[in-house]
Amino acid sequence: MSKVTIVEVGARDGLQNEKVLLSPEIRLEFAEKLAGAGIRKIELGAFVSPQWVPQMRGSTELMKMALARKTSGKSSLKDSELSALVPNLRGMQDAIDAGVKDVAIFASASEAFAKKNINCSIEESFGRFAKVMELAKSNGSRVRGYLSMCFGCPFEGEVPEGRVVRLVKRLRDLGVYEVSIGDTIGVANPMQVHRLVSKLIDAVGEDFLAMHFHDTRGTALANIHSSLQLGIRVFDSSLGGLGGCPYAPAATGNVATEDVVYMLHGMGYKTGIDLAQLIAINQWITEKVQHELPSRVGRAGLPKLLPIGT
């Protein structure tokens, strides 16, 4: 069976929406535990305005510490890619100054969310991204793209599929290596996913796409299954189902990494991730954020009867 890549976004998408602000040291420990469990792609910080998202304050210090541990070769981080969000040129410069080579720009398929999230129109945001890409290229950085609100927007309602396809192509033309398709507020259903992802695959191919489901209404695993059937092999998730988006009302956490990994292993896919360790990390981070997390597998634990594989 084929391999699936998990992009763990709990330390960014998850923690950016928590009431308790965690120090860079605790966020670093979180990343080390995730890498120790076999997660090879970890989104760890965001070079955004601390006035807008105070939870991501200290990302420079955090990324510097994490990259130093990674290059020392003594940390579990040594084999994991550590990335951070950048909204504009200032963020990209901060990422470079911190030594970060893997970054992500984030666009929106809805005009209203672009304004609320990054304070500009979709068109203006693409102007900013072009400048970010130029600087990234001169620094040899790898840039991922996100596109939010692909399945519906809390401010505008339905989002036309043609617009999503056009914006994904535009991100590709800017030079990102992959676009993560966001169901930011967790409204998608498996048939809708099948329809949109089929169109996206026709436009850019399945290897260029990742899926980013929030589990607000309980459809995320079904949506992942729908995407898997079309050949998508990269999924974003947050340990425990931490998360949300500070600028999208009613956006609850990302689909939980434990739940995704449990389902994938049961279906015979390989992730390289140790599920029992994820459950232990859930208990650890629950104490730090001071509330129970929504992950079903985190709560129920591993069944005794099923092979769990890696």
Distances (CA, A) of 264 to 260, 270, 298: 6, 7, 15
Strands (DSSP E) found in 175-216 = 179-183, 209-213
| 88 counts as binding ligand HMG under rule CB under 6 A | yes
Does the annotation count 245 as an active-site position?
A: yes
| 13 counts as binding ligand HMG under rule CB under 6 A | yes
Q: How many helices (H) and strands (E) does the chain have?
A: 11, 8
Among 105, 118, 188, 297, binds ligand HMG (CB under 6 A): 118
CA–CA distance, 191 with 172 (Å, rounded to integer): 25
- Residue 91 binds what, of ligand HMG, Mg ion, none (CB under 5 to 8 Å, by partner type)? ligand HMG
Sole window of 135-143, 221-229, 240-248, 262-270 interacting with ligand HMG (rule: CB under 6 A):
240-248
| 146 counts as binding ligand HMG under rule CB under 6 A | yes
| Contacts with 277 (C-beta within 8 Å, 6 or more apart), sequence order | 33, 36, 37, 38
- Residue 125 binds what, of ligand HMG, Mg ion, none (CB under 5 to 8 Å, by partner type)? none
CA–CA distance, 123 with 185 (Å, rounded to integer): 22
Which is nearer to ligand HMG, 217 or 299 (by Cβ)?
Answer: 217
Sole window of 66-74, 114-122, 163-171, 289-297 interacting with ligand HMG (rule: CB under 6 A):
114-122
- Residue 256 binds what, of ligand HMG, Mg ion, none (CB under 5 to 8 Å, by partner type)? none
Q: Return the percent helix, strand and coil in the chain, to nearest 5.
A: 50, 15, 35
Q: At what angle do helices 257-266 and 220-229 cross, to 10 degrees?
A: 40
Which is nearer to Mg ion, 48 or 65 (by Cβ)?
Answer: 48
Distances (CA, A) of 196 to 168, 203, 214, 265: 12, 11, 17, 26
Which is nearer to ligand HMG, 38 or 182 (by Cβ)?
Answer: 182
User: Among residues 120, 150, 153, 245, which one is catalytic?
Assistant: 245
CA–CA distance, 195 with 36 (Å, rounded to integer): 37
Residue number closest to Mg ion, CB atom: 13
How many residues sit in the footprint of ligand HMG (CB under 6 A)? 26
Per-position b or e across 269-280, b if 16+ CB within 10 A of its CB? bebebbbebbbe
| 10 counts as binding ligand HMG under rule CB under 6 A | no
| 49 counts as binding ligand HMG under rule CB under 6 A | yes
Which is nearer to ligand HMG, 224 or 275 (by Cβ)?
Answer: 224
Distances (CA, A) of 89 to 12, 117, 137, 176, 270: 19, 16, 13, 16, 37
Footprint of Mg ion on residues 13-32 (CB under 5 A)?
A: 13
Binding positions for ligand HMG, rule: CB under 6 A: 13, 16, 46-49, 52-53, 85, 87-88, 90-91, 106, 117-119, 146, 148, 182, 184, 212, 214, 245-247
Binding positions for Mg ion, rule: CB under 5 A: 13
Active site residue ranges: 245
